[in-house]
Chains A and B, each alone.
Chain A
């Protein structure tokens, strides 16, 4: 991808000059950023064989693009291949809606670190580079990725549209896809700026973090819900023109493509096209002239030597829920220490929260979406609630995957320097904290929902699914490398997740299937519960006896 992006950057040199930036510095920054991106993900794959300095392969991003193309296949075929020409406006709107949601999601979750990168401030800003160059370099850097994503997502759409309505419509579709991603860059920037306006600076990153989590959940939820709530029949009819159409961004893009498809050169279509083309560029202009300087100044403020917070002197009051729970659930000092440590850090470490909380939210959104909207009969069938319960267990497991990772992993030297003879107690304390903090509340939420929807008599299934999920979490923790909490870099965690995920999914499927079998036998589930609890107890005591030899330390 790098050569292509750089090729464009050099070709557009006059544009950069007109926009008031230094093309040489711009190219240098984009070049370096792309190089680093490639290495970062490459390093995560080949941490142990990392001697090939010249090699920069970014397979991970290609895989992501492949997946997006696959997503695009569904929307492209279902939305664009079937509906008749006259009724294509709404399907087009939905297609562009998807595209925008995907772009915004990617920007908020994966690229927030690029947008809010403050290392730039220390490395690049002391050099003679104006703020506009840096801003443009950031936009180009991000746009490179977003354009790739947009093209991957709309690839099938472009082919379908070209095939059905000719190359002109296909080109229009492509252009509108790219414009959609530009618009999203602008909107996310505005979003971050607004956020910065309303919060104090030291809290900002914290708040952005929560917003990222919430937005990710909302986006995902709506992505699941909207098409299901939409009536299939209305989609196949020609639209009735409404004036609020002019306020819905995906409709601008849809209007522009629709104009070529029909072809219909009337006022509404023309107006939508003007909006579709005009606003992304207007957004770029505003970003360049107005937002950029403000944004960078604000961002610079983020990194300033923060004044240490002072609190009242003396130890904290020992009355928090955490402390009470830790006394209730743990029975030796080391375990209690690990419990408190994990409980506190999981509440404060931004990376951990960003990687875990959206997963939990997705899970909930997914379950609700499926049981409300359908998946046809499956959503209402007897097996569904079981699926939901085990699915929940799966999402809780992601929290456990992340537990060993931290940006401050180097601080884990304390595990080595302190006289710990039974590290298994740290693991068990950490596990208890995870169960008490994530598993129980989240499970309770899903359980309440299921009891409300499917009746209180499902309580036996809820209990069994809960204990089985506990067993699964433990078993997967025991089957893989055991690591102490927050002791490795994030990159390393990613490495083995996919393969492990499939195994876990498979075993979970088996257990859920067996559970379903038990529901057919009267009292079968209740009989299984003690066995499940017993297995859990046994595994847990084994886990607790983990010795140093079984623990992987970097």
Chain B
């Protein structure tokens, strides 16, 4: 058995007095696509931020690619890619300038960045916008640039937080295929999303987190042994909010009261 690329042991995290993560244990092998899902406020983004070395004031052991995230964050950061949820980028720059900048932060040499950035932008059908400022870009176009910026240095592990938001249907198919092929090439994709259909289809392994704890972990087939149905239904049952039908009825009634 080779070493896990992500290893979390007994991870606890507090925001002031709020206990966000209550003892997460997790280990991920290379070449997996891991879908990390949970309701809002369950601690998904917090886990991601700890894994990529953004938050270091946690309790427990977290290592990525054999490096301790707390003591060696730079080593971790240079080997992973991260695409954040909230589409933050410097939008007064052009995609090429932005990617140049990000590539330089990864210590890449400029001609390599330029060549890669140009080709990748072209594959995402942004060739015509390479030198246009991103202030005018749609959400989907920004998301494409963000995806490239998280992958341009060819990382070992890719952390994606809601990576498909704003993308059109064809691009969603493309990105899903990219994720699959990255995993087939031995890379690890750690994927967080609210879109259950996508998670169900592309994940080799699904981890459900609720209120700071892992409540389910396994392949989709394994999860189905506990509860049958789609991932969506399963998720509802596990996170204790499977009464949506009645709530919906109540909602309609309130509108006409």
B107 with A24: CB separation less than 8 A:
yes
B105 with A25: CB separation less than 8 A:
yes
Closest to A307 in B: B18
Closest to B100 in A: A28
Enumerate chain A residues within 8 angstroms of B133, measured Cβ to Cβ. 39, 50, 53
> Is A345 among interface residues, defined by CB-CB distance under 8 A?
no
B137 to chain A, nearest CB (A): 13
Question: Given A127-B102, A127-B105, do A32 and B93 touch, yes or no (CB 8 Å)?
Answer: yes
Can you list, as one digit per residue, whether each of A93-134 has a CB less than 8 Å from chain B (1) or not (0)? 000000000000000000000000001011111111110000
The answer for the CA separation of A119 and B105 in the assembled complex, in Å, is 16
CB-contacts of A160-215 with B (<8 A): 200-201
The answer for the CA separation of A124 and B52 in the assembled complex, in Å, is 12
> Is B89 among interface residues, defined by CB-CB distance under 8 A?
yes
Enumerate chain B residues within 8 angstroms of A32, measured Cβ to Cβ. 90, 93, 97, 101
Enumerate chain B residues within 8 angstroms of A40, measured Cβ to Cβ. 92
Enumerate chain A residues within 8 angstroms of B251, measured Cβ to Cβ. none
> Is A43 among interface residues, defined by CB-CB distance under 8 A?
yes
The answer for the CA separation of A102 and B238 in the assembled complex, in Å, is 60
B42 to chain A, nearest CB (A): 11
Question: Given A39-B133, A53-B133, A307-B15, do A129 and B90 touch, yes or no (CB 8 Å)?
Answer: no
The answer for the CA separation of A32 and B134 in the assembled complex, in Å, is 14
Enumerate chain A residues within 8 angstroms of B93, measured Cβ to Cβ. 32, 35-36, 39
Enumerate chain B residues within 8 angstroms of A25, measured Cβ to Cβ. 104-105, 107
The answer for the CA separation of A40 and B56 in the assembled complex, in Å, is 33
Enumerate chain A residues within 8 angstroms of B77, measured Cβ to Cβ. 126-129
A152 to chain B, nearest CB (A): 25
The answer for the CA separation of A305 and B86 in the assembled complex, in Å, is 11
The answer for the CA separation of A35 and B97 in the assembled complex, in Å, is 10
The answer for the CA separation of A53 and B128 in the assembled complex, in Å, is 13
Enumerate chain B residues within 8 angstroms of A123, measured Cβ to Cβ. 88-90, 102
A193 to chain B, nearest CB (A): 17
B35 to chain A, nearest CB (A): 20
B41 with A127: CB separation less than 8 A:
no
The answer for the CA separation of A508 and B170 in the assembled complex, in Å, is 60
Question: Given A39-B92, A307-B41, do A53 and B105 touch, yes or no (CB 8 Å)?
Answer: no
A300 with B55: CB separation less than 8 A:
yes
The answer for the CA separation of A105 and B53 in the assembled complex, in Å, is 35
A536 to chain B, nearest CB (A): 41
B82 with A128: CB separation less than 8 A:
no
Can you list, as one digit per residue, whether each of B81-124 has a CB less than 8 Å from chain A (1) or not (0)? 01010101110111001001110111100000000000000000
**Given B75, B105, B132, B135, which contacts A124 in the complex, CB threshold below 8 Å?**
B105
CB-contacts of A39-81 with B (<8 A): 39-40, 43, 50, 53
> Is B74 among interface residues, defined by CB-CB distance under 8 A?
yes
> Is B237 among interface residues, defined by CB-CB distance under 8 A?
no
> Is B29 among interface residues, defined by CB-CB distance under 8 A?
no
The answer for the CA separation of A297 and B56 in the assembled complex, in Å, is 9
Enumerate chain A residues within 8 angstroms of B15, measured Cβ to Cβ. 304, 307
**Given B45, B78, B100, which contacts A128 in the complex, CB threshold below 8 Å?**
B78
Enumerate chain B residues within 8 angstroms of A304, measured Cβ to Cβ. 15, 55
Chain A, interface residues (CB within 8 Å), range: 20 to 34
Enumerate chain B residues within 8 angstroms of A27, measured Cβ to Cβ. 104
The answer for the CA separation of A32 and B46 in the assembled complex, in Å, is 28
The answer for the CA separation of A23 and B147 in the assembled complex, in Å, is 26
The answer for the CA separation of A297 and B46 in the assembled complex, in Å, is 15
**How many pairs of residues, A versus B, come closer than 8 Å at their CB atoms?**
82
Enumerate chain B residues within 8 angstroms of A119, measured Cβ to Cβ. 88, 90
Enumerate chain A residues within 8 angstroms of B230, measured Cβ to Cβ. none
A36 with B92: CB separation less than 8 A:
yes
The answer for the CA separation of A409 and B102 in the assembled complex, in Å, is 29
Enumerate chain A residues within 8 angstroms of B84, measured Cβ to Cβ. 122, 126
B45 with A127: CB separation less than 8 A:
no
Enumerate chain A residues within 8 angstroms of B97, measured Cβ to Cβ. 32, 35
Enumerate chain A residues within 8 angstroms of B53, measured Cβ to Cβ. 126
Closest to A123 in B: B88
Enumerate chain A residues within 8 angstroms of B104, measured Cβ to Cβ. 24-25, 27-28
Can you list, as one digit per residue, whether each of A494-510 has a CB less than 8 Å from chain B (1) or not (0)? 00000000000000000
**Given A29, A124, A128, A201, which contacts B74 in the complex, CB threshold below 8 Å?**
A128
**Given A121, A126, A297, which contacts B82 in the complex, CB threshold below 8 Å?**
A126
A20 to chain B, nearest CB (A): 12
A197 to chain B, nearest CB (A): 14
Enumerate chain A residues within 8 angstroms of B52, measured Cβ to Cβ. 126
> Is B178 among interface residues, defined by CB-CB distance under 8 A?
no
Can you list, as one digit per residue, whether each of B25-69 has a CB less than 8 Å from chain A (1) or not (0)? 000000000000000010001100000111111000000000000
A305 with B46: CB separation less than 8 A:
yes
**Given B18, B92, B94, B105, which contacts A129 in the complex, CB threshold below 8 Å?**
B105
Closest to B107 in A: A24
> Is B131 among interface residues, defined by CB-CB distance under 8 A?
yes
B92 with A128: CB separation less than 8 A:
no
Enumerate chain A residues within 8 angstroms of B75, measured Cβ to Cβ. 128
Question: Given A126-B52, A126-B82, do A53 and B94 touch, yes or no (CB 8 Å)?
Answer: yes
B158 to chain A, nearest CB (A): 12
A554 to chain B, nearest CB (A): 13
The answer for the CA separation of A286 and B233 in the assembled complex, in Å, is 56
**Given B41, B88, B92, which contacts A122 in the complex, CB threshold below 8 Å?**
B88
**Given A28, A125, A128, A130, which contacts B54 in the complex, CB threshold below 8 Å?**
A125
Knowing that A32-B97, A53-B131, A126-B82 touch, tell me 14 more A-B residue pairs with CB under 8 angstroms. A24-B104, A28-B105, A29-B105, A35-B92, A35-B97, A36-B90, A53-B133, A123-B102, A126-B54, A126-B77, A126-B84, A128-B74, A305-B41, A305-B46
| A→B interface (CB under 8 Å) | 22, 24-25, 27-29, 31-32, 35-36, 39-40, 43, 50, 53, 119, 121-130, 200-201, 297, 300, 304-305, 307
- Could you list some 6 contacts between A and B, CB below 8 A? A28-B100, A28-B104, A39-B133, A127-B106, A128-B105, A297-B57
8 tightest CB-CB pairs across the interface, nearest first? A128-B78, A28-B104, A128-B77, A122-B88, A127-B105, A39-B92, A126-B82, A32-B101
